A and B are shown apart, each in its own frame.
Chain A
Amino acid sequence: MNPPLHKFWLNPFLRRYAVARLRWQPVLIWGMVVQSLAAFGWLAAFHGSRLFGQSSAAEAALRAWVPILFLQGLLLFVKGTFSVAVGVAREHAEGLSDAQRLTPLPPGHKVLGSLLGLPILDSLLAASLLPWTLASVLLGHIPLETVIRIHLLLGTSAVLHHAIGLVSGTVIRQKIAAGTVSQLLVILLHVIIPLFSKFGVGTLGHLGIETTIAGELSNVSQSAYLKKNLDVAFFHLNLSAAGYQWVAMVLLLALLVLVLRRRWIRAEAHLLSKPLALLCMLALLVSSLGELTPDLRSGVSLKPPKFLLRQLENAPVLLQTSQQALFPVTAMVAFGSIGLYMALLLSTCIAPGPLEIARATQSRGFAAPHPDSAADARSSLPACVAMAGMAHGAWLFLIEQVKANPVFQILLSAAPNQPAWILLAILFPLLSWSMLIELRGRKFAVLLMLSLWLAAPMTATVCSLAGVPFDSWPRWLFASSGLALPSIALINSFKLAPTSLHLPWLVSTGFHAGLCIVLGILILARNRRLKTSAIGSSRS
């Protein structure tokens, strides 16, 4: 009855947004603004670089493409993402999406239609700049291959941004907040995550496309004013940066589309199903390992972050260790923690709250509820154990890589080789977090984490910076945080570790294990109570 997905021009959502957003007035005004900006940018860059840079016409045309790309990025990533987030939040807030949920249009159509339709004005404005691009391509003799590659990256990244806007609008349901959050996410994607990617999770660094596009341009430029694109080493493979980035973006996009589809089917669905969460964890670990291991094996292009070097230069133990060895240490410590943080994030998405569990127990024995809601209400603890196991396995793999490189042998001579430690350090905080959510709900768990897991290590850090010797009480406070456990477990395994953290780590791990047991008992008791009351009320 509904037209197939690939006939996207028949998609009702796309058509509805096209009608609403492409009225002649805004199109005319925006078109004029954007064209005049583009004309100024292109002509100024072209003549400017001829005048001041003494460039050839071809080189000037290549440089004149940059402001056009910048303008397209601004339109697609910033304006487009904002209008998607605000648009979809408004439809949710007004309750319109309920009416749309009742139409027989399959959820995939709705996702596709909103994804392409909500930012349609911005996409068309970006497309209206293509004549300027054509001028650059023709005058600059830019190879077609480069042009296609850049547009593929730009287009995919734009859809990815819009999907992010769609998810934030769907989750937040509040116009202004959704718009703000979507913009923060864009900043996060382009600025903050690439910074963090230096600490061992290289994949995330590929989500912003500026450097890749700049690299592509430099590849064809005569003057190397930007550094050219290097291939990405991935396990034993050498992949082109653009191709690798494209695959990473497409995978993330697919994940977001699945999330949106779930939400279209059921408004209160968890963002991720449990198998999907496990798959996410696996993908992140594998891709991070893929980018870490070539560096570790070769040991050539290793550069530890400068601030870390400065910090550790004074440590006496370090003087005997090669500086090069610092990189694998920071990478591994970060990797251990990121395994935990990622698992915490994913388990927050899949752990059912107490109300969900109560409702599922009460509806047991009656006509089966919606299969999705039953799956959502199931305990997340098995998935948590699996995620901890995955993180642990990835860490073991990493250790093997480090061992294979003779440069790092010196580091590991003192390593106690107790791989079980890292497993415990991830498992207990993760389980207690999930159990807390299942027992008291997300808000309570987040509140507790803020007060205990974040405030404790922060206080310890500030106090030791202020002059309190770290070896006195601050180390206990520091180690009490569940978030710090994997890093401490890893630091403990290396020669450069201060020994003072061994005991606090043991105590804190024991505490979290105890917490798991107590929470487990409380959950069991609660579940039994729910079951008896459900049986009672179904008899009455």
Chain B
Amino acid sequence: MSVPAPHGVWVRNLRVDYGPFTAVPHLDLTIPPGEIYGLIGPNGAGKTSTFRALATLLDPVHGEIFLGGRDARHDPEAARAVLAYMPDLAPLPEDLRAAEYLRFFAESHGLYGPARDQRVAACLEAVDLTGRQHVFCRALSLGMRQRLNLARCLLHRPKVLILDEPASGMDVAARASLKEALRAQAASGTTIILSSHILPEVQDICSSIGLLQNGRLVDSGETREVLLRQSHAKKRLRIRTAGSPENLLSWLYSPDALPAHAPVLRGDTVECQFAGDTEAQARFFTRLAGANLAVVSLEEIHSSIEEVVLRLASAPHEPAAP
């Protein structure tokens, strides 16, 4: 066994089953402390399953999990002391007020008296709910419920924060304040792992992301690099010509144009797919310039994060290994 990372999230060979169904066949994950990591993938990819296993709430079939340097499989109690988990559609007790709810959890973490009240006030402040502390939880709106749950997660200053779709139900202002709160947490050394279907948000908040498909991590790394890699896998070029686009189109159909293929006419520009590396791209440009087609610009189109996820979702559904 290799020496695990002392902090952050460290997962090896994780497998999660529901009865005969394997939701996550094999997952390795390393997230350094202070990182905000976004796990994205289509519905049913296994994000919630992974999170629940990380949060020691679901017994995986096998796998090693270290959270903040604590072994979550062998010593779940130690791991629970440093982690906070916010489930998707996190529940709230109907019979408590917002501040009472936070006080209950603060006391469960061993905070009493003025220390408790200060911490509760600080966490309410962090999620912008100070004015609502005397409102019954059942009377909060969806976004406020999410924020109150986030405040509960922050109470004990966790080293690892696991957030399942924290931004769902939040309005623009709330998402901005969520982003603020998460950045502040990460700056203090907390590792944050979150999932979200609001992709621009992910792109904006997360310093690194992982793409999950059928319970397997397809790609993982710094957000920009992952997006770049994913768009290189299926790069597209946009060519604008001052001459006739039809001529350009017919040249692109010729064997000269390879490895560019599948050109389409879009107004006065032509878009095509390109399946080659950077050198092939340079050679292609030289040939294009020599073909006398009055090309005025050649532009690379990056896939947006939406397109990447769409591709993941529409990829053939490979059955998980038994």
Contacts and interface: CB of A to CB of B under 8 A. Distances in A.
B62 A366 contact: yes
A16 B87 contact: no
A439 B105 CA distance: 42
A104 B19 contact: no
B61 A104 contact: no
Given A20-B95, A91-B93, A102-B84, A10 B74 contact: no
Contacts of B84: 102
A335 to B, nearest CB: 40
Interface stretch (A184-192, A368-376, A397-405): A368-376
Contacts of B128: none
Contact of A367 (B55, B62, B77, B112): B62
**A91, A267, A367, A540: residue with the most chain B Cβ atoms closer than 10 Å:** A367
A284 to B, nearest CB: 31
B95 A370 contact: no
Interface residues of A, number: 39
A99 B152 contact: yes
A12 B322 CA distance: 44
A102 B62 contact: no
Contacts of A105: 108-109
B282 interface: no
Contacts of B74: 367-368
B57 A370 contact: no
B52 to A, nearest CB: 8
Contact of A359 (B55, B61, B110): B61
Contacts of B55: 102
Contact of B73 (A16, A20, A100, A370): A370
**A10, A15, A355, A366: residue with the most chain B Cβ atoms closer than 10 Å:** A366
B19 A355 contact: yes
B107 interface: yes
A101 interface: yes
A489 B91 CA distance: 55
B108 A103 contact: yes
B80 A104 contact: yes
A96 B59 contact: no
B20 A355 contact: yes
A516 B94 CA distance: 51
A1 interface: yes
A231 interface: no
Contact of A20 (B60, B93, B105, B110): B93
B62 A362 contact: yes
Could you tell me the dominant secondary structure of chain B's interface residues? loop
B80 A96 contact: no
B98 to A, nearest CB: 13
Contact of A369 (B19, B59, B96): B59
A535 to B, nearest CB: 13
A119 to B, nearest CB: 14
B272 interface: no
A533 B321 CA distance: 12
B105 A19 contact: no
B104 A12 contact: yes
**B17, B84, B95, B321: residue with the most chain A Cβ atoms closer than 10 Å:** B95
Contact of B107 (A12, A94, A359): A12
B42 interface: no
A311 interface: no
B194 interface: no
A103 B93 CA distance: 16
Nearest to B78: A104
Nearest to B107: A12
A104 B84 CA distance: 11
A409 B96 CA distance: 68
Contacts of A359: 17, 59, 61
A267 B56 CA distance: 11
B63 interface: yes
B34 to A, nearest CB: 22
Interface in A347-393: 355, 359, 362-363, 366-370, 373
A363 B321 CA distance: 15
Contacts of A21: 95
Contact of B96 (A1, A19, A95, A268): A19
Given A99-B152, A355-B20, A12 B59 contact: no
A103 B109 contact: yes
B100 interface: yes
B188 interface: no
B73 to A, nearest CB: 6
Interface string A253-282: 000000000000011100000000000000
Contact of A104 (B17, B73, B100, B109): B109
A91 B96 CA distance: 13
Contacts of B20: 355
Interface string B84-118: 11010011110110001000110111101000000
A208 B107 CA distance: 37
Contacts of B96: 16, 19-20
Contacts of A314: none
A102 to B, nearest CB: 5
A3 B109 CA distance: 10
Contact of B100 (A1, A2, A19, A266): A19
A537 interface: yes
Contacts of A1: 109-110
A471 interface: no
B76 interface: yes
Contacts of A13: 108
Given A1-B109, A366-B64, 16 more contacts: A3-B110, A16-B107, A21-B95, A95-B87, A99-B90, A99-B152, A102-B84, A104-B81, A104-B109, A266-B59, A355-B20, A359-B17, A359-B59, A363-B60, A363-B62, A369-B73
28 contacts: A1-B109, A12-B104, A12-B105, A16-B100, A19-B100, A20-B93, A21-B95, A91-B93, A95-B87, A98-B57, A98-B85, A99-B90, A101-B57, A102-B55, A102-B56, A102-B57, A103-B105, A104-B77, A104-B109, A105-B109, A267-B57, A359-B59, A362-B61, A367-B1, A367-B74, A368-B73, A369-B62, A537-B322
Per CB-CB distance, the 3 closest pairs between chain A and chain B, nearest first, are A12-B107, A366-B62, A1-B110
Interface of A: 1-3, 10, 12-13, 15-16, 19-21, 91, 94-96, 98-105, 266-268, 355, 359, 362-363, 366-370, 373, 533, 537, 540
